[in-house]
């Protein structure tokens, strides 16, 4: 019975290949911070668009229509 | 080899010295032997000098001889080496040489070979995952290994410790090893990897930066690891409010490439990051400068779109007369950049049908889309909403023509807001309110406005105006229901009387079962009408009589008079009820405190 060949000796580079590939994991809180300063995600926040503000905008328009109708 | 050579030389010198020592006789050089005269037994000669005649072989030689007196003998001179001792010395020397040679061979050849084999076995078992045994063996072996292998053995020990979760010890050893061997990139990578694992990104960054400077980010996944580190540092900078540092770090992440897609579009440019911060801080001139500079300096469509978003938001917040047109134009250009095929108006879809299954299906379909696509769709909807509001603001800034048809205006607005319809309430809120106020005169318009506002309410709108409209509408519907019931009661008899129905059938055992009519149940469960309900009914009846008008024929006058009487009676009842309520209030104000048990406060 011949001995099983041991194969090449793993070198440090081979050992490093055994480690998982690094992955990017951003936790929720940090992700929220990123989104907060991301312009595209903050369009309505920056513009301060709220239901109340929208209702006021509608009232302005309605007021103009009524004034025009009353002339 | 450098260490082996001196040891061999020393051993060789030792052997040579021993051989030389063995070869030197103990008593120095031997004296040449003199002639000896054997006297006959029993004869003696006194000491002195004698003439001696030697005869033999036909010859005769005359000489002198000295007989020495018998004095105390001096120390016996060492015996000269005999011929029988020399071979033993040679054998001993040979054995000694053999032993020394064996020792040297053992020390310099056999032991290193055995250690090398042991080291290889341990490294293989490490690679197979037997970390504790391998680490223990390598730790014992490490000090005896040649320096070149020793460094590798120390790396393997650190690797095993990392895999065992012994992070403190692994980091300590790796830090030392990295300090001793700064050019060893595998050691550097493992150290950085370990620090990233421990979320010590600031500790990993200089190690990886040195690898980048040395052009060695090709080791393992070093470039990717560096990307992770820089991204996390950038995120931390954002959290800390260090926006410029964040922009620089994200820029580096972009250059490395592995996580380019993960860098939010708006964080790819320093101008966008700083401009967005300026907008949030309401520093509008600074924001305008940043976005103007960005638009001037970039040809990237995404970044140009960001520049236009920033400029439009600046104009929106400035809210100066005339900025409405600029806003609409900027947002239109931005939408065109993001999706040239996206229409700027659609058919207003109306409120969702309210079927939960359909809504769930729509939500599931939306969440199944890739995140990037979902983000883009949401951005587009937000931009459409802002553009529609800007258009509304623009139209409101201008003088409204008295001939403008309100219905057409609402429809035009609805077409714009249709592009923003998604899972948010805003389009339904704005269109519903516009329709309620401007086109709610007709029953259809009012009904549609109510449905739209109801959808907005379902999606989270709770502003008082909408709640009031919905409550008012619900009250109207309830009054109509009550009115119908009241009429039905009038038509079928007084409450509590049995209504005609199926004839009672005999029960199983011949007994006629009791049958409670709906009116019985209603009479038993319904509380008597309140003054307000009576008043509302009277108003409804009066309104109904007025609506029917002359359709009632000759009975109209009587009905109108009866309705008037009813209204007066109700008004009297209301006044009396108020008198009763006022009296109750006065009584409570007078003795209310004494009505409570002693020492007890009313429960809140």
Is residue A48 in a domain?
Answer: yes
CA distance B356 to chain A (A): 24
B351 pLDDT higher than 90: no
CB contact under 8 A, A42 and B159: no
CB contact under 8 A, B317 and A26: no
Give the separation between CA B375 and CA A41, rounded to whole angstroms: 8
pLDDT of B91-108, one tens digit each? 999 999 999 998 988 888
User: What stretches of B421-530 show up as alpha helix (H) in DSSP?
Assistant: 426-438, 443-458, 464-492, 518-525
ipTM of the modeled complex: 0.74
Q: Find the range with the poorest average confidence among B115-124, B183-192, B249-258, B518-527.
A: B518-527
pLDDT-derived band at B18 (thresholds 50, 70, 90) equals low
**pLDDT at residue number B175:** 95
**Cα end-to-end span (Å), chain A:** 111
B285 pLDDT higher than 70: yes
CB contact under 8 A, B385 and A41: no
8-state DSSP, B241: T
pLDDT of B562-596, one tens digit each? 888 888 888 888 888 888 888 888 888 777 666 66
Same domain, B450 and B380: no
B27 pLDDT higher than 90: no
- Show the domain range for B567: 532-590
Domain count, chain B: 3
Residue A8: its chain B contacts at CB < 8 A?
none
Closest CA to B385 of B433, B436, B338, B424: B424
Residue B386: its chain A contacts at CB < 8 A?
43-44, 47, 49
Is residue B265 in a domain?
Answer: no
Cα B251 to chain center, whole Å? 20
Is residue A13 in a domain?
Answer: no
Length of chain B: 604
**pLDDT at residue number B603:** 42
Same domain, B377 and B422: no
CA distance A45 to chain B (A): 9
CB contact under 8 A, B155 and A12: yes
pLDDT-derived band at B529 (thresholds 50, 70, 90) equals confident
Give the separation between CA B237 and CA B310, rounded to whole angstroms: 22
Mutate to test the interface with B, among A17, A26, A37 (most CBs of B within 10 A): A37
Is residue A2 in a domain?
Answer: no
Q: Bridge partners of B93?
A: none
Q: Which of B120, B273, B395 sits opposite A61 (nearest CB)?
A: B395
Is residue A51 in a domain?
Answer: yes
pTM of the full structure:
0.55
User: Distances in Å between the alpha carbon of B482 and those of B475, B541, B581?
Assistant: 10, 11, 26
Kindly give the pairing relationship between strand B48-56 and strand B59-67: antiparallel
Angle between helices B426-438 and B443-458 (to 10 degrees): 160
Same domain, B476 and B420: yes
Q: What are the backbone angles phi and psi of residue A43, rounded to the nearest 5°?
A: -55, -50
CB contact under 8 A, B404 and A65: yes
pLDDT-derived band at B177 (thresholds 50, 70, 90) equals very high
pLDDT-derived band at B488 (thresholds 50, 70, 90) equals low
Q: Using a pLDDT cut of 70, give the percent of chain B over it.
A: 78
Residue A30: its chain B contacts at CB < 8 A?
232, 235-236, 238-239
CB contact under 8 A, A47 and B277: no
CA distance B288 to chain A (A): 14
Q: What is the mean pLDDT of residues B295-300?
A: 90
Host H or E run for residue B292: helix B284-297
Is residue B16 in a domain?
Answer: no
Same domain, B476 and B540: no
Is residue B468 in a domain?
Answer: yes
**pLDDT at residue number A51:** 92
Is residue B207 in a domain?
Answer: no
B199 pLDDT higher than 90: yes
B3 pLDDT higher than 60: no
Determine the Cα angle at B227 with ends B222 and B230, to 5°. Answer: 120
Give the separation between CA B361 and CA B234, rounded to whole angstroms: 38
Reported for B523-532, long-range contacts at CB under 8 A and 24+ positions apart, including other chains, are B523/B495, B523/B496, B531/B573, B531/B574, B531/B577
B330 pLDDT higher than 80: yes
Is residue A44 in a domain?
Answer: yes
Give the separation between CA B104 and CA B106, rounded to whole angstroms: 5
Cβ atoms of B315 and B323 within 8 Å: the answer is yes
Q: What is the mean pLDDT of residues B361-389?
A: 84
Same domain, B308 and B390: yes
Same domain, B426 and B380: no
Residue B277: its chain A contacts at CB < 8 A?
37
Give the separation between CA B398 and CA B386, rounded to whole angstroms: 19
Mutate to test the interface with B, among A10, A51, A66 (most CBs of B within 10 A): A51
Most confident of B116-120, B281-285, B467-471: B281-285
Is residue B581 in a domain?
Answer: yes
Same domain, B337 and B437: no
Same domain, B566 and B489: no
Q: What is the mean pLDDT of residues B160-188?
A: 94
Same domain, B299 and B324: yes
Q: What are the backbone angles phi and psi of residue B133, rounded to the nearest 5°?
A: -65, -45
Same domain, B384 and B419: no
Q: Please give the residue of chain A at the shortest CA–CA distance from B230.
A: A24
Calculate the average pLDDT of chain B. Answer: 80
Give the separation between CA B214 and CA B189, rounded to whole angstroms: 13
Is residue A17 in a domain?
Answer: no
Closest CA to B234 of B270, B276, B198, B208: B270
Cβ atoms of B64 and B52 within 8 Å: the answer is yes
Cβ atoms of B202 and B233 within 8 Å: the answer is yes
CB contact under 8 A, A12 and B316: no
A71 pLDDT higher than 70: no
Is residue B204 in a domain?
Answer: no
Q: Which of A24, A38, A58 sits opposite B437 (nearest CB)?
A: A58
Give the separation between CA B241 and CA B274, rounded to whole angstroms: 11
pLDDT of B73-83, one tens digit each? 556 556 555 56
Give the separation between CA B264 and CA B258, rounded to whole angstroms: 14
Mutate to test the interface with A, among B121, B123, B170 (most CBs of A within 10 A): B123
Is residue A46 in a domain?
Answer: yes
pLDDT of B412-437, one tens digit each? 899 999 999 987 899 999 999 999 99
Q: Find the range with the poorest average confidence among B30-44, B307-321, B369-383.
A: B30-44
Closest CA to B570 of B602, B598, B595, B542: B542
**pLDDT at residue number B592:** 67
B36 pLDDT higher than 90: no
Is residue A52 in a domain?
Answer: yes
Cβ atoms of A65 and A71 within 8 Å: the answer is no
Give the separation between CA B566 and CA B557, rounded to whole angstroms: 14
CB contact under 8 A, A62 and B196: no
Give the separation between CA B558 and CA B552, rounded to whole angstroms: 10
Closest CA to B241 of A48, A37, A47, A38: A37
Is residue B390 in a domain?
Answer: yes
- Show the domain range for A49: 26-70
Q: What is the mean pLDDT of residues B191-212?
A: 95
Give the separation between CA B204 and CA B229, rounded to whole angstroms: 7
CB contact under 8 A, B430 and A58: yes
CB contact under 8 A, A9 and B461: no
Same domain, B438 and B335: no
CB contact under 8 A, B275 and A39: yes
**pLDDT at residue number B368:** 76
Domain count, chain A: 1
Q: Which residues contact B218 (CB under 8 A, 6 or more apart)?
A: none
Is residue B300 in a domain?
Answer: yes
Cβ atoms of B188 and B197 within 8 Å: the answer is no
Give the separation between CA B216 and CA B207, rounded to whole angstroms: 11
Q: Which of B126, B156, B389 sits opposite A54 (nearest CB)?
A: B389
Same domain, B287 and B381: yes
């Amino acid at each position: 019975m011949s001995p099983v060949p041991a194969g090449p000796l793993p070198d440090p580079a081979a050992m490093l290949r055994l480690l998982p590939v690094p992955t990017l994991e951003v936790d929720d809180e940090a992700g929220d911070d990123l989104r907060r300063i991301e312009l595209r995600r903050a369009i309505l926040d920056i513009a301060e668009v709220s239901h109340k503000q929208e209702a006021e905008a509608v009232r302005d328009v309605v007021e103009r229509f009524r004034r025009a109708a009353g002339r | 080899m450098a260490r082996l050579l001196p040891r061999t030389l020393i051993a060789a010198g030792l052997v040579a010295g021993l051989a030389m020592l063995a070869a030197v006789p103990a008593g120095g050089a031997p004296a040449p032997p003199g002639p000896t005269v054997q006297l006959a037994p029993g004869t003696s000669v006194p000491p002195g000098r004698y003439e001696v005649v030697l005869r033999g072989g036909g010859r005769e030689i005359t000489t002198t001889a000295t007989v020495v007196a018998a004095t105390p003998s001096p120390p016996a001179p060492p015996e000269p080496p005999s011929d029988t001792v020399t071979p033993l010395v040679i054998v001993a020397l040979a054995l000694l040489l053999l032993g020394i040679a064996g020792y040297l061979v053992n020390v310099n050849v056999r032991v290193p070979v055995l250690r090398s084999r042991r080291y290889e076995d341990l490294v293989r078992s490490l690679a197979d995952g037997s970390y504790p045994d391998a680490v223990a063996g390598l730790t014992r072996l490490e000090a005896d290994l040649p320096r070149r292998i020793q460094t590798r053995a120390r790396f393997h020990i650190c690797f095993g410790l990392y895999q065992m979760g012994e992070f403190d010890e692994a980091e300590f050893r790796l830090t030392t090893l990295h300090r001793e061997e700064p050019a060893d990139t595998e050691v550097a990578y493992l150290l950085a990897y370990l620090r990233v694992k421990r979320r010590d990104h600031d500790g990993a960054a200089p190690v990886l930066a040195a690898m980048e400077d040395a052009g060695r980010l090709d080791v393992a996944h070093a470039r990717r690891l560096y990307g992770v580190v820089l991204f996390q540092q950038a995120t931390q900078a954002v959290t800390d409010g260090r926006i410029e540092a964040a922009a620089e770090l994200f820029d580096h992440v972009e250059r490395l490439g592995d996580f380019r897609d993960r860098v939010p579009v708006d964080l790819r440019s320093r101008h966008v990051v700083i401009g967005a911060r300026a907008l949030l801080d309401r520093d509008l001139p600074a924001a305008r400068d940043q976005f103007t500079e960005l638009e001037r300096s970039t040809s990237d469509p995404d970044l140009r779109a960001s520049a236009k978003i920033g400029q439009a938001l600046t104009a929106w917040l400035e809210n100066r007369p005339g900025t409405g047109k600029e806003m609409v134009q900027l947002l239109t250009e931005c939408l065109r950049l993001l999706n040239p095929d996206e229409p700027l108006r659609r058919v207003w879809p109306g409120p969702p049908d309210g079927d939960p299954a359909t809504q769930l299906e729509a939500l599931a379909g939306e969440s199944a889309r890739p995140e990037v696509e979902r983000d883009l769709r949401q951005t587009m909807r937000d931009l459409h909403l802002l553009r529609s509001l800007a258009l509304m603001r623009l139209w409101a800034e201008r003088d409204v023509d008295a001939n403008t048809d309100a219905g057409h205006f609402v429809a035009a607005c609805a077409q714009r807001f249709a592009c923003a319809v998604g899972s948010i309430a805003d389009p339904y809120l704005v269109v519903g309110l516009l329709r309620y106020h401007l086109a709610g005169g007709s029953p259809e318009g009012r009904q549609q406005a109510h449905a739209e506002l109801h959808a907005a309410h379902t999606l989270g709108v709770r502003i008082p105006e909408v709640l009031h409209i919905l409550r008012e509408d619900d009250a109207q519907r309830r009054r109509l229901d009550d009115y119908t019931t009241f009429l039905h009661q009038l038509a079928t008899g007084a409450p509590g009387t049995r209504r005609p129905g199926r004839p009672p059938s005999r029960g199983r055992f011949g007994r006629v079962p009791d049958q409670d009519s709906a009116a019985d149940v209603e009479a038993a469960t319904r509380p008597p009408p309140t003054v307000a309900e009576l008043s509302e009914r009277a108003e409804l009846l009066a309104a109904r009589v007025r609506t029917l008008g002359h359709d009632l024929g000759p009975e109209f006058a009587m009905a109108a008079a009866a309705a008037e009487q009813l209204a007066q009676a109700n008004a009297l009842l209301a006044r009396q009820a108020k008198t009763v309520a006022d009296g109750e209030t006065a009584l409570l104000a007078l003795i209310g405190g004494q009505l409570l048990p002693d020492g007890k406060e009313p429960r809140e």
